């Protein structure tokens, strides 16, 4: 079956409407799928680290340092790169990349919302849904940073140094 669209917007709407189950883009034949990302331990550790380091330096923070800063973080946590999805929650922003030899700068800053989340002052949606860089949905259920970390972490110990005590 060949699909024909008059405009790119029509094609885009078709893709978004069928992305839940996965669809081939009629313009480029790439596979497009909607994904769900849960607020998880890695993202919570990243937020605790970026907030703590931002309070210490007042400057952009490299993502690798965030995991080293968060107590109990293993070095392999950053390898999955789930931390970057915190931007869908509005918890952190990434610095624009100006180096043409790199895909991204790797530097982040927390937002005020991100600081509040890391300090346990607010809850966020338990998951978001996205297609590429477009937010397409979210959970009604809320989670705290402690929920995202799980029970094996000492929340008070992790918070040391992030401006909350």
Q: How far apart, in whole angstroms, are the C-alpha atoms of residue 22 and residue 18? A: 6
* Chain segment 17-34, per-residue pLDDT in tens: 888 888 888 888 888 888
Cβ atoms within 10 Å of 66's Cβ, excluding its own: 26
Instruction: Looking at the structure, tell me whether residues 21 and 44 fall in a common domain.
Output: no
Instruction: Looking at the structure, tell me whether residues 48 and 65 fall in a common domain.
Output: yes
Instruction: Looking at the structure, tell me whether residues 20 and 74 fall in a common domain.
Output: no
Instruction: Looking at the structure, tell me whether residues 70 and 140 fall in a common domain.
Output: yes
Instruction: Looking at the structure, tell me whether residues 155 and 136 fall in a common domain.
Output: yes
Instruction: Looking at the structure, tell me whether residues 15 and 71 fall in a common domain.
Output: no
For tokens 């078709």, the residue is 14
Across residues 53-69, what is the average pLDDT?
Answer: 87
Q: Is residue 94 part of a domain?
A: yes
* Chain segment 103-134, per-residue pLDDT in tens: 888 899 999 999 999 999 999 999 999 888 88
Q: Are 47 and 118 in contact (CB under 8 A)?
A: yes
Q: Is residue 165 part of a domain?
A: no
Instruction: Looking at the structure, tell me whether residues 81 and 105 fall in a common domain.
Output: yes
Domain region containing 131:
36-159
Instruction: Looking at the structure, tell me whether residues 126 and 59 fall in a common domain.
Output: yes
Q: What is the pLDDT of residue 165?
A: 43
Instruction: List beta partners, residue 108.
Output: 61, 94
What domain count does the chain have? 2
Which phi and psi (to 5°) does residue 22 adopt? 95, 140
Cβ atoms within 10 Å of 110's Cβ, excluding its own: 27
Q: Is the pTM of this model over 0.85?
A: no
């Amino acid at each position: 079956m060949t699909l024909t669209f008059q405009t790119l917007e029509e094609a885009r709407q078709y893709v978004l409407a069928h992305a839940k189950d996965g669809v081939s883009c009629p313009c480029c034949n790439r596979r497009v799928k909607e994904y769900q990302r849960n607020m998880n331990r890695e993202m919570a550790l990243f937020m605790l680290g970026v907030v703590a380091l931002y309070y210490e330096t007042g400057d952009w923070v490299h993502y690798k340092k965030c995991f080293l800063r968060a107590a109990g973080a293993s070095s392999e946590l950053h390898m999955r790169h789930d931390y970057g999805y915190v931007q869908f929650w509005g918890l952190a922003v990434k610095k624009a990349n100006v180096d043409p030899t790199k895909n991204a700068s790797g530097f982040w800053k927390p937002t005020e919302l991100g600081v509040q989340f890391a300090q346990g002052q607010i809850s966020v949606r338990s998951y978001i849904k996205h297609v590429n860089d477009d937010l397409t949905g979210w959970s009604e259920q809320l989670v705290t940073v402690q929920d995202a970390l799980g029970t094996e972490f000492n929340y008070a110990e992790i918070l040391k140094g992030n401006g909350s005590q």
